[in-house]
Amino acid sequence: MVEAPHTVKSYEEELKNLNNNIIKMGGFCEEALGKAIQAITTRNSDNAEAVIKDDEKIDKFETLIEQQVVNLIALRQPMAIDLRETVTALKISSDLERIGDLAKNISKRTLLLNENLPKNLTEALVRVSSNVQKQLKSILDSYLDRSSAMAVNVWESDEHIDDLTNLCMQEVIKYLKEDEKNLDDGTHLLFVTKNIERIGDHTTNVAEQVYYLVTGEYLEGDRPKGTEPIVSGEK
Amino acid sequence: MIKINSKNVDVFYGKKQALFNINLDIEENQVTALIGPSGCGKSTFLRCLNRMNDVIDICKVQGQIIINNFDINDKSCDVVRLREKIGMVFQKPNPFPKTIYENVSYGPTIHGMAQSKSEMDEIVETSLKKAALWEEIKDRLHEPGTGLSGGQQQRLCIARAISVKPEVILMDEPCSALDPIATAQIEELIDELKKDHTIIIVTHSMAQAARVSQNTGFFHLGELIEHGSTDKIFKNPENKRTQDYITGRFG
């Protein structure tokens, strides 16, 4: 729903600006995740290094958004939809910041990985990550379009990501068992997989925020969960 | 519990209709805030609740306003008794040009509520204490009420209103002429008073409505657009017009 503009134009501008910063920050996160995954599958160190370096930009957006939110609350006392805009911006920015950190961590590990990983491993990784990337894109679109239906869609799809994560974990564990020499790479890959799954979780958090922003209601019920995570390898 | 139940209330000033079919239930021992732009009818509605509109010749009120199972618009209603039960505090503090003591004792005197001087003293003291004014003025009870500061005068008017033990207190922008400190004192007082009284407050300050009330009604162009719990109205109103008003989007 498109809202009528505020009578006070500077207030309207401040809210618009906050909204734009979330969108920009989300764009940087999408880019970081994309590059991080590409770096791991193509073993492209330049991409990995770029993600590590650019994380600072994402962190700065979080600080900026936090300041804007505090200013809006202190000086404008937002109500109703404006209040929800303000509060959800704060929460979404902190999830996006975590997504940036996780992408950075993936990239740091990528730089330590063997250049010739078995194909089945990279394929399993791509299966999870491409789904997570899709989720992240959808949720940023749903924020932009103020679409609660899209947010619900993303929220419900987290289950699928959990399943793919577990399949990927199983592949990595198999790889670890094959040879003691695989220990370093395998351990890093376990963390990488887990990080990708965590990005999916943060995306789901954002979905909950978008839903609240649009409807003023909380998404009810437990989060959909896939198969139980693997704690130790199969016996 | 519902204290006041208004059914299909229409108000006309001459040929001009000021309120359209208002159905609003006021909960007992709660604060209900009425908000809306100037001329939306919120004060007109407030004045229906103790028949203050009677004093305006061209004003005609239709519909029912039921308090304690009794329609106050009924011919048999004793308006003096009604206003004893339903007190009012106005926008501008308007103490009588009398002493502080007399301001408070006036109502109880005309309603014959005290049998002796000591009983009256007690009513005056209790009322001033409840209005959070006693400590400040207990040594100058016989000085003129008009000599007090604006915030003190407003609290004196509240003491005067509660001296006759009304069940309902109507407040028409009681803080609009007061500074933030006096406003906070009145708001704290409203919070205290709701234990013994049902309070209806008309305010232009959205922040004040949000702070002091449990229920809020939004009026626009003589209609009650939305009524509900204050937190719902300010976090997630149902009506677009309510949202536009409280977020400052009204053109």
- Residue pLDDT, tens place only, B139-190: 999 999 999 999 999 999 999 999 999 999 999 999 988 889 989 999 999 9
Tell me the three state secondary structure of residue B168. Answer: strand
Would you say residue A2 has pLDDT above 80? no
Class of A9-215 in CATH:
mainly alpha
Question: Is the overall model pTM greater than 0.90, yes or no?
Answer: no
Nearest to B234 among A5, A11, A79 (CB): A79
Residues from chain A contacting residue B235 (CB–CB below 8 Å): 79-80, 83-84, 216
CATH of the domain at B203: 3.40.50.300
Distance from CA of A5 to the nearest CA of B (A): 6
Q: Are strands B31-35 and B198-202 parallel, antiparallel or unpaired?
A: parallel
Nearest to B247 among A79, A215, A217 (CB): A79
Q: For the sheet with B31-35, list strands across it.
A: B86-89, B168-172, B198-202, B31-35, B215-220, B223-229
Positions in chain B short of pLDDT 70: 251
What is d(CA A165, CA A201) in angstroms, rounded to the nearest whole number? 12
What is d(CA A68, CA A16) in angstroms, rounded to the nearest whole number? 11
What is d(CA B215, CA A6) in angstroms, rounded to the nearest whole number? 25
Structurally, chain B folds into a number of domains equal to: 1
Nearest to B248 among A8, A83, A84 (CB): A8
Task: Write out the residue range of the structural domain in which residue B74 sits.
Answer: 2-246
Within 10 angstroms of residue A64's Cβ, the number of other Cβ atoms is 16
Using a CB–CB cut-off of 8 Å, the residues of B that contact A are 206-207, 210, 234-237, 242-244, 246-251
- For residue B99, what are the β-bridge partners? B144
Residues from chain A contacting residue B243 (CB–CB below 8 Å): 3, 80-81
In a domain, B104, yes or no: yes
> Are B243 and A81 a contacting pair at CB < 8 A?
yes
Q: What pLDDT, in 10s, does the model give residues A33-91? A: 999 999 998 888 999 999 999 999 999 999 999 999 999 999 999 999 999 999 999 99
Q: What pLDDT, in 10s, does the model give residues A164-188? A: 999 999 999 999 999 999 999 999 9
Confidence label for A234 from pLDDT (cuts 50, 70 and 90): very low
Residue B26, pLDDT score? 97
Confidence label for A232 from pLDDT (cuts 50, 70 and 90): very low
In a domain, B251, yes or no: no
In a domain, B78, yes or no: yes
Contact A175, A187 (CB under 8 A): no
In a domain, B55, yes or no: yes
- Structure token digits, residue B33: 């805030």
